[in-house]
Amino acid sequence: MFIGAINQDVRAILYEMAENWRDKEIYVGCSGNFTVERVLFKAGVKNIHSNDVSLYSCCLGRYLTGEKMNVDISDPEYEWLDQYMKNELDRIATLLLCSEMFKYADRQERYFKRMWQAYTENFAKLHEQTKERVAKALDGIRIKSFYAGDVVDFIQQAPDDAVIISFPPTYKSGYERMYKKIDEVFTWEQPVYEIFDDNRFSEFMSSLQKKHAWVTLRDKQIAELEPYLRAITQNGMRSKPVYVYAQEGHAKLTMPRQKTEPLKVPRFAESDEITPDSVLTAAVITQGQMNLLRSEYLSPSIIPAQAMVNIAVIVDGKVIGAIAFSDARYTVASTDIYMLSDFAVRPTKYSRLSKLVLTAALSKEIKAYLEQVFGKRIYTITTTAFTEKAVSMKYRGLFDLYSRKEGMLNYTADAGKWSLGEGLKWWLEKHAHKLKN
Amino acid sequence: MVAGETRSQIEELNRKIEEAGQQFKLAVVDIEELSLLEKNARYMTNEQFRRLVSNIKRDGGLSSVPFCYKEGDRYKVLSGNHRVMAAREAGLKQVLIMYTDKEMTKAEQIAVQLSHNAIVGQDDPVILKELWDEINDVDLKMYSGLDDKILDELKKISIEPLSEVKLDYRTLSFLFLPSELERVKEVIQEAVELCGGDEIYAARIEEFDRMLAAISKTNAAHNIKNAATSLMIILDIFENHLTDLAEGWTERETSAREWVPLASIIGTENIPVEAAKIIQRAVQKMMDRGEITKKNLWQALEYWAADYLAGE
């Protein structure tokens, strides 16, 4: 799969700019998946010159100019792919499939072997369908020229009155990592180019700014380019913003916004009491409802993350707090689950209501539900307390500290320690007597 | 502490406000003298709050004044709780507030709190967009708290996907049902309607626990996380133990009309091709002699086994 930085918002911004360039010669550096070219074409721009260095992009470029290109298979193990390399369109489809399929190559793990087998067994069908998709995506699109080589050379060779659009790799050796296996399997006349790093970016920018008009983007703010900042787009709360710099253009901005939904369940109030007759329950809530509770009760300085499971903890029909769980990405063992956040509502007279929320998190009922959702056995729950202190009082006595890093404490506890009823009884005995002054 | 000159200027202002017949006062107070509401229906999402903090930092102060109720030495913030929280986060030590020290009941305080949030104007979207377009600076647009997406200012540019076709996945749903038998039928029907998977299997809730245990052990043994891969390994193990299935018909009463899998005797569904050729020839010979017909080819095995056992 080709990974590019040109999201939906950047496409819209580019489209708007392109409407002024219909009679200009446009030079697109680092064409990648030719998304820029396809947006330009849609905006009625026809005089396009493209450039890139990867085998996939070069095949696309040659196809769009109608030129021929030699590509051979150098690894005998992959000679079976030869039948899928007959013409330019064949090759583009094969390279697209290989970019995904090669993730599973040369691996001995069962999962990877299974995926590899599925790809190789179904290659003919996948290739046919991919070819149809590529033909449709490129239907009617033509470019005036394609330069296989260094983007800085490409820009320098462009006429001064040209418009330059170039979105170079945002991380060092990006192409090289993506195409390592492809370059091992296929032989072709590889262009010479320099690795794109921050130094190369400075050189790239000075070449760019000599031209009539230009657009580029980075995933970080560049102080020297501040006067040219035309847009910032960010999709997710935790995703990196994309900064669009251009010689001209109207300012644009897109920012992520959390969706909130009402939660029509009463909240545990200051006057409410928890007694031995009380009933502790848990209910699954939506991400929108969690966003609402988090906005109300959790420190607003904590950047929200998307959870897979959100649960409201309820006493006698009133919400006392909420917990969010995520998959094993951050966890230490496959039988572990990560608790992204846990918090109690306020105001309350109980100093340690948040411990009752944690008591629920460690219940058999929540464990059983998590096992159903995640389809695996769960033995432990892991979480992180972001604090400069040596210990987090909230987790003490319920979770064990297993590691400490600067500004954070990592805790773990056995899942399914007790039933919700047993947990409530424990909390009533140990913590209910601690009241706020 | 507020400087003496500022204090006297504010006192002068408060005197003028009083002369104008208004009951409110201004004060510059230490931010720690302000008490926030314990219960507040108004919330701000993380991104709105961070924007507010950035704006306060940029401005160097609050650009609108919180309204407070003076209770003893402290000021209870009835309106502007998030502004005060953001001011703290932005590092402000003192803020300008408007307050009243006139006695207020709890209900009156709540009424003020709610009114400041409820009695707000609305935007005409057309004029809002026109004003938005007058800002041609990304930082100032950010300051405004709006963006092009929320104002629906960005065109939707759709282009055909240029990507590979993905592997075809099928969904296999296992439903683990409560053990009440009378409910099973009803729940399966409901599940079929709700679940959309390609195939549905039903089992009791206890079996779910056993299956998780099996997947968990398989995951640990093979160091994998993917449940579907575990299931494939479990099936491999099953295939290697097909003869165990014989217990299913040797350890219970059976009727003569039942059929059982041959694999539960010989442990496999497949045999080497050379062996198959010999068996095929023998079966054909029995057919030619009329000892078996096309309908009971399997009986060749029974006859051979009986002959073998008779010769023991």
Q: Is B47 on the interface with A (CB under 8 A)?
A: yes
Q: Which of B47, B156, B215 sits opposite A255 (nearest CB)?
A: B47
Q: Which residues pair with B174 in a beta bridge?
A: B201
Q: Which regions of chain B are under pLDDT 50?
A: none
Nearest-CA distance from A270 to chain B in Å? 9
* Residues recorded for chain A: 437
More confident call, B156 vs A198:
B156
Mean pLDDT taken over chain A: 91
pLDDT in tens, B146-155: 999 989 888 8
Q: Is B149 on the interface with A (CB under 8 A)?
A: yes
Q: Are B100 and B109 in contact (CB under 8 A)?
A: no
Q: Please report the pLDDT score of residue A366 as a whole number.
A: 96
ipTM: 0.84
Q: Tokens representing A213? A: 């008009």
- Chain B contact set for A1 (CB, 8 A): 163-164
Q: Which residue of A has its CA nearest to B209?
A: A377
pLDDT (average), residues A89-115? 91
Question: Residue-wise over A173-191: b if at least 16 C-beta within 10 A, else e?
Answer: ebbeebbebbeebbebeee
In three-state form (DSSP H/G/I as H, E/B as E, the rest C), the secondary structure along A347-381 is: CCCECCHHHHHHHHHCEHHHHHHHHHHHCCCCCEE
Confidence of residue A334 (pLDDT cuts 50, 70, 90): low
Q: Please report the pLDDT score of residue B263 as a whole number.
A: 83
Nearest-CA distance from A72 to chain B in Å? 21
Q: Is B106 on the interface with A (CB under 8 A)?
A: no
Determine whether the interchain pair B141/A253 forms a contact, defined as Cβ–Cβ distance below 8 Å.
yes
Nearest-CA distance from B38 to chain A in Å? 6
Confidence of residue A198 (pLDDT cuts 50, 70, 90): confident
> Percentage of chain A surpassing pLDDT 90?
72
| β-bridge pairing A163-166 and A213-218 | parallel
- Chain A contact set for B81 (CB, 8 A): none
Q: Please report the pLDDT score of residue A329 as a whole number.
A: 59
- Chain B contact set for A96 (CB, 8 A): 163-164
- Chain B contact set for A39 (CB, 8 A): 157, 159
Q: Please report the pLDDT score of residue B185 as a whole number.
A: 58
Per-residue pLDDT for A86 more than 60?
A: yes
Closest CA to A246 of A268, A273, A218: A218
Q: Please report the pLDDT score of residue A277 as a whole number.
A: 97
From the candidates A31, A114, A253, which should be mutated to test the interface with B, based on the most B CB atoms within 10 A? A253
Compute CA distances A346 → A268, A392, B46, B258, whole Å: 8, 19, 18, 67
Please list, in sequence order, all residues whose beta carbon lies within 8 angstroms of the beta carbon of residue B277, skipping any fewer than 6 positions away: none
Give one DSSP letter per residue of B59-111, joined into a string. Answer: HTS-SS--EEEEETTEEEEEE-HHHHHHHHHTT-SEEEEEEE-S---HHHHHH
Dist. CA A407–CA A343, nearest whole Å:
19
pLDDT in tens, A337-360: 999 999 999 999 999 999 999 999
Q: Are A138 and A63 in contact (CB under 8 A)?
A: yes
- Chain A contact set for B42 (CB, 8 A): none
Q: Please report the pLDDT score of residue B312 as a whole number.
A: 67
Mapped onto helix, strand or coil, the DSSP state of residue B35 is strand
Q: Please report the pLDDT score of residue B187 as a whole number.
A: 57
More confident call, B203 vs A396:
A396
Lowest mean pLDDT among A184-188, A380-384, B218-222: B218-222
pTM score: 0.81
Nearest-CA distance from A395 to chain B in Å? 24
